[in-house]
Chains A and B, each alone.
Chain A
């Protein structure tokens, strides 16, 4: 099977081709006929020649070979894309080659037989999906289809002609085609044509004539085809007008079940919805029993749901044991105006006659019309059968449990009997025992068996004559009967309660997941994180690992996995083939992979996380080793993924907004900085140039002392400029966030030493001490920047404290961080100043005339640097007096075993 799977390279090539094109969708034109042989292909080829004459780039993608010679002759002069061969069970099938078509990239392509089902191993199951892909790629398509292939008309056609058609297309493909051209001829002419052997070969023709091509059939088909076309026109007109207003008027509801007759109900309802132009909802009531459906029933249920979906119904699932009540509730809330249902065969037994669903519904619902579709199918009782099969699972443990309960009840009763407690109480004890058995064991049978055994033991031990199964008193049979009935009823009630508890627990679990999803998603800080949370929720919901990946900007998809189990399964799902499918999803914004009609051979189901701007991410659900998803799980999953899409989109927008704000802020910062710098640079520069000039011109008038003084001034001002430059350089490095910082493990001791080298200790009358308790303590940092931080803080301390003050540098390990403190014993900082001390252009000497020595950059820079290191910086009072600056860095765990 794997051999059939198209290679990822092919996809990539195709994707590249698509990239080069504009995103305008192609137009679809359908040549529509009521039977084979009316001349659809002929008309299509004619149109193609016309288009070619007009200079349009036309190619033939696929044309059926059983055409009339006149038709085949029309192929001449048109470019034909060679077909692709698929080998399937020894037969070679020729199919339309979508990859070649996309590669060829014409303006218009002709593809016969819209309803065709592709060979196993093709990309899509159905040809209309191929065509959709072509349309998305911006290629116009001409195609042909007959009326019996349209999904909603399928059963009508079958009823008329007696022939079931397997190849069908969803109605929307037909309805949303850009153009439909009806190819019509009189039925007599068609029969004539058939007899001449123009449509089928001789023998086939005879058979076809007998079965299908009778005059009556053809007339009926023709009528349906024409009416369908008219309906389509009507619908298009409605859609273009006030779609919502019309739709809001009517709302048709159907109930989906696993019944074989359900299909007919769905089709009828769909046609009604079509005729009324109404909203159309298919409701599935999930009950205890429906959870336990198996085999054919389950398959049929899935098929019915799928059919409803194809016919344009919105699928909704509700939970509850009482179907009628659930349907009624839903109908009331959703403003349903009409309910269509089949006549159900759920009558059970004679004694406990249940009202059928329709009757109950009528009771529950006031003013909603109910349409009942008669059902000729044989009596259908899926639930009873499956429930029995399912529930009675023989297990020694349960038998054991049952016997233990029985023995205990009997012993208790024997004790009671000794003290002459009345028989009524003994019966009650047995019923209690049965109840316990029912709750404790799995399956209804144990409750029932236990009821029987209870009656027997009661008979054996407690009725006269004792220790026999005889009973003298004529009232005993009544006692036995009542005892049996009450224990059976109570056991079945207990089981029901248990099941409902289980169901509601599961429901609560799902609800919890859904509710939790939104909350959790909001917590995601990055897009990656949000997607990971969504994947986590889906994984929780479906109880399996989930793959996820953000839309790559330019490079290839790289999946991450969210997996609760310890097993490392990601490699199973990251093969080239799987990535090929994911790429397809990314490019086409459609779900694909396992359980879909596109690339169904993939191991995973791939879902696009959609936003307004396209695919934001991809989520992959492994399906190969896990149970199939039911529609409820699917809906929940899609709800989670949609939610994720919305949150991602929001995040995207807010990120962009944030970036813009940041840019504006930086712009402002830069302007402020420039203003401040140009002002503050002038002062020392004036001093340097002025003093230098003085020396040059008046050298001989100065004595050595005076000269030395001037030299010192020049040197000091130059050094001040050097320091300023260092700070400015650091600012340019970190103003773009953390991009430029280069984190390396560094020994704190070395960093302190290096920083202190830059502080001219000889010029300072302060005592500077270093206090590190662990000499090998190391932290991740950009050493240059952190040295700058230390220099700035120490210089500040020197500047704002008196000579002789003490400055202590210390480092301590706290958890997984290193806390670095720089403390002084000066006058301290006022609380008001502390608030602003890290603001840019704030100086403690604000207002004073001599503000030249501080630009107010130093501490603000310190904060930026520490924040860029993801650390914290703080200032507080030293005890008894002075100030402490403290900042944290990430500790390096040293591993010295080599």
Chain B
């Protein structure tokens, strides 16, 4: 069986060990890098399926690494950060990271995020084959050509903005999209006054497609960061 390869970029041995042990138990292959420069070389030579990146590296800014890696590959990047680096997290996501996880994190959560990231990478491969005129994610179906959305085979009616939002999230399934990114894509500009509107549209959209809004199935909220469509 093909073992998926994970590149761990982390300078703290304890956390690095914890991740390594976890990956071992779950049957992943892994490689570790302790510095940013080392990490970039490994990202090329090791050709990983996903990258775990700690933002607090001694030699290089995490965002720089993401920019460099993104310049040639779309490999999913999961950022590991401490709470105090809230702003860095958003910057990292805007630079192209897929997801983030905050220290201290539980192993279960970590593995779940990793699976989501890997699934995105796989589905990307499939997508290029089909003409991707139809998006299917569990019970959610978007017909891009007709501009129709179905939940469990029932058509639902969305306002133009809600539809745009849903499409944007769907096209980036598995990726955390920051508020600013969504505002730029859907509203065309980043104006602070639009932020409340974004929250409201997202809430109404969710009301329409989620069965249980307090335990959402498709759209995940990342408080003060953004939203993400989960591959069910």
- Which residues of A are in contact with B by a Cβ distance under 8 Å? 722, 726, 729, 742, 744-747, 749-751, 753-754, 770, 775-776, 778, 782-784, 787, 892-896, 898
Chain B residues lying within 8 Å of A893, measured Cβ to Cβ, are: 196
Could you list 26 A-B pairs, sorted by A, with CB under 8 Å? A729-B84, A744-B195, A744-B224, A745-B196, A746-B223, A746-B224, A749-B213, A750-B199, A750-B203, A751-B223, A754-B223, A775-B203, A775-B207, A776-B199, A776-B200, A776-B204, A783-B223, A783-B224, A784-B86, A784-B224, A787-B223, A894-B200, A895-B193, A895-B197, A896-B200, A898-B187
B214 within 8 A of A: yes
Q: Check A747 against B203 for contact (C-beta < 8 Å).
A: yes
B92 to chain A, nearest CB (A): 17
Q: Roughly how many angstroms separate A722 CA and B102 CA in the complex, as a whole number? A: 12
Q: Chain B residue with minimal CB distance to A776?
A: B200
B83 within 8 A of A: yes
| Cα distance A460–B214 in the bound complex, in angstroms | 99
- Please name all residues of chain A whose beta carbon is closer than 8 Å to the beta carbon of B104 when the two chains form the complex: 722
Task: Compute how far the CA of A782 lies from the CA of B224 in the bound complex, rounded to whole angstroms.
Answer: 8
Chain B residue at minimal CB-CB distance from A753: B214
Which residues of the partner chain A approach B195 to less than 8 Å between Cβ atoms?
A: 744-745
| Closest 10 pairs (CB-CB, A-B) | A783-B224, A745-B196, A783-B223, A754-B223, A747-B199, A894-B196, A892-B196, A750-B221, A776-B200, A722-B104
Chain B residues near A775 (CB-CB < 8 A)? 203, 207
Residues of B within 8 A of A729 (CB): 83-84
CB-CB under 8 A from B197, the residues of chain A are 894-896, 898
Which residues on A sit within 8 Å (CB–CB) of B86? 742, 784
Known: A722-B104, A895-B193. A745 touches B199 (CB 8 A): yes
Nearest-Cβ distance from residue A829 to partner chain B, whole angstroms:
29
Q: In the assembled complex, how far is the CB of residue B229 from the closest CB belonging to chain A, in whole angstroms?
A: 16
Determine the chain A residues whose CB is within 8 A of the CB of B204 once the complex forms.
776
B201 in the interface (beta carbon within 8 A): yes
Which residue of chain B is the closest to A721 with respect to CB atoms?
B104
> Does B15 count as interface, using CB distance less than 8 angstroms?
no
Among A729, A753, A787, find the residue whose CB has the most chain B CB atoms closer than 10 A: A753
Given pairs A751-B223, A898-B197, 16 additional interface contacts (CB within 8 A)? A729-B83, A729-B84, A742-B224, A745-B196, A746-B199, A747-B200, A749-B203, A750-B199, A753-B214, A754-B223, A782-B224, A784-B223, A892-B196, A893-B196, A894-B196, A894-B197
- CB-contact partner of A784 in B83, B187, B193, B213, under 8 A: B83
| C-alpha gap A268/B161 in the complex (Å) | 86
Q: Given A749-B203, A892-B196 in contact, is the A898-B161 Cβ separation under 8 Å?
A: yes
State in angstroms the CA–CA spacing of A619 and B195 once bound together.
Answer: 39
**A729 and B224 alpha carbons, distance in the complex (Å):** 17
CA distance A220 to B66 in the complex (A): 93
Given A770-B214, A894-B197, A895-B197, the answer on whether A750 and B223 have CB atoms closer than 8 Å is yes
Residues in B with CB closer than 8 Å to A776 are 199-200, 203-204
Contacts of A750 in B (CB 8 A): 199, 203, 221, 223
Q: How far is the CB of B204 from chain A (nearest CB, A)?
A: 8
- Nearest opposing residue in chain B for A730, CB measure: B83
The distance from the CB of B227 to the nearest CB of chain A, in whole angstroms, is: 10
Report Cα–Cα, A775/B84, bound state, in Å: 30
Chain A residue with Cβ nearest B104: A722
Docked complex Cα distance between A652 and B187 (Å): 46
Tell me which residues across on chain A come within 8 A of B84, comparing CB atoms.
729
B80-116 contacts to A (CB < 8 Å): 83-84, 86, 104
- Which residues from 97 to 151 on chain B have a C-beta closer than 8 Å to any C-beta of chain A? 104
CB <8 Å contact, A753 and B221 = yes
A814 to chain B, nearest CB (A): 18
What are the residues of chain A within 8 A of B223 when measuring CB–CB?
Answer: 746, 750-751, 754, 783-784, 787
Cα–Cα distance between A893 and B84 once the two chains are bound (Å) = 29
Interfacial chain B residues near A754, Cβ < 8 Å: 221, 223
Q: CA A893 – CA B196 in complex, angstroms?
A: 8
CB nearest neighbor in A for B221: A750
* B residues less than 8 Å from A742 (CB atoms): 86, 224
Whether A895 contacts B214 in the complex (CB less than 8 A), given A746-B223, A775-B203, comes out as no
A722, B83: Cα distance in complex, Å: 11
Q: In the complex, how many angstroms separate the beta carbon of B221 from the nearest chain A beta carbon?
A: 5
A763 to chain B, nearest CB (A): 14
Query: A893: nearest residue on chain B (CB-CB)?
Result: B196
Q: Which residue of A lies closest to B214 (CB)?
A: A753
Chain A residues within 8 Å of B196, by CB: 745, 778, 892-895
Complex alpha-carbon distance, A447 and B37, angstroms: 100
**Please, which residue of chain A has its CB at the minimum distance from the CB of B207?**
A775
B221 contacts across to A, CB distance below 8 A: 750, 753-754
Q: How far is the CA of A291 from the CA of B207 in the complex (A)?
A: 74
Closest to B179 in A: A744
Q: Complex: how many Å from CA A895 to CA B191?
A: 13
Chain A residues in 8 Å Cβ range of B214: 753, 770
A707 vs B19: C-alpha distance in the bound complex, in angstroms?
23
A781: nearest chain-B partner, CB-CB: B224
Q: Looking across the interface, which residue of chain B has its beta carbon closest to that of A775?
A: B203
0/1 string, B203-214, CB within 8 A of A gives 1: 110010000011
Cα-based distance from A893 to B200 in the complex (angstroms): 11
Give the distance in Å from the alpha carbon of A742 to the alpha carbon of B224 in the complex: 10
Q: Restricting to B178-206, which residues have a CB under 8 Å from any CB of A?
A: 187, 193, 195-197, 199-201, 203-204
Report the minimum CB–CB distance from B150 to chain A (whole Å): 24
| Whole-angstrom CA separation of A744 from B225 in the bound complex | 11
Q: Roughly how many angstroms separate A746 CA and B179 CA in the complex, as a whole number?
A: 12
* Chain A residues within an 8 Å CB radius of B193: 895
Distance (whole angstroms) from the CB of A771 to the closest CB of chain B? 12
Residue in A closest to B82 when the chains form the complex, CB atoms: A729
CA A742 to CA B84, docked complex, whole Å? 13
**A447 CB, min distance to chain B CBs, angstroms:** 64
B198 (CB) vs chain A CBs: closest residue: A745
CA distance A893 to B197 in the complex (A): 10
Q: Are A896 and B199 in contact (CB under 8 A)?
A: no
Chain B residue with the shortest CB-CB distance to A770: B214
Residues of B within 8 A of A892 (CB): 196
Which residues does chain B contribute within 8 Å of A787, judged by CB atoms? 223
Give A729 to B199 CA distance when docked, in angstroms: 27
Contacts of A782 in B (CB 8 A): 224
CA distance A776 to B201 in the complex (A): 9
Q: Nearest Cβ in chain B — how far from A64, in angstroms?
A: 65
Q: How far is the CA of A775 from the CA of B200 in the complex (A)?
A: 9
Bound CA–CA A398/B196 (angstroms) = 62
A745, A776, A787: residue with the most chain B Cβ atoms closer than 10 Å: A745
**Interfacial chain B residues near A896, Cβ < 8 Å:** 197, 200-201
Closest residue of B by beta carbon distance from A757: B223
Instruction: Give complex CA distance A797, B199 in Å.
Output: 30
Q: Tell me the smallest distance from the CB of B228 to a CB of chain A, in Å.
A: 13
Find the residue from B104, B187, B223 having the highest chain A CB count within 10 A. Answer: B223
> In the complex, what residues of B have CB within 8 A of residue A747's CB?
199-200, 203
Bound: A742/B200 CA distance, A: 20
| Residues in B neighbouring A744, C-beta threshold 8 A | 195, 224
CA gap between A130 and B25 in the complex, in Å:
86
Cα of A97 to Cα of B97 in the assembled complex, Å: 63
Query: Which residues from chain A contact B224 at a C-beta distance below 8 Å?
Result: 742, 744, 746, 782-784
Could you tell me the distance between the alpha carbons of A109 and B100 in the complex, rounded to whole angstroms?
70
Q: Closest CB of chain A to B163's CB: distance in Å? A: 13
Bound together, the chains give a CA A783 to CA B207 distance in angstroms of: 22
A742 to B195, CA, bound (A): 14
CA distance A778 to B194 in the complex (A): 13
A747–B205 Cα gap in the complex (Å)?
A: 14
CB of B55 to closest CB in A, whole Å: 16
Cα–Cα, bound, A782→B214 (Å): 21
Residue among B195, B200, B204, B214 with max Cβ neighbours from chain A (10 Å): B200
Shortest CB-to-CB span from B29 to chain A, Å, is 29
Measured CB to CB, the closest approach of chain A to B81, in angstroms, equals: 13
Among B29-43, those with CB < 8 Å from A are none
Chain B residues with CB under 8 Å of A778's CB are 196, 199-200
Minimum distance in angstroms from A751 CB to a CB of chain B: 7
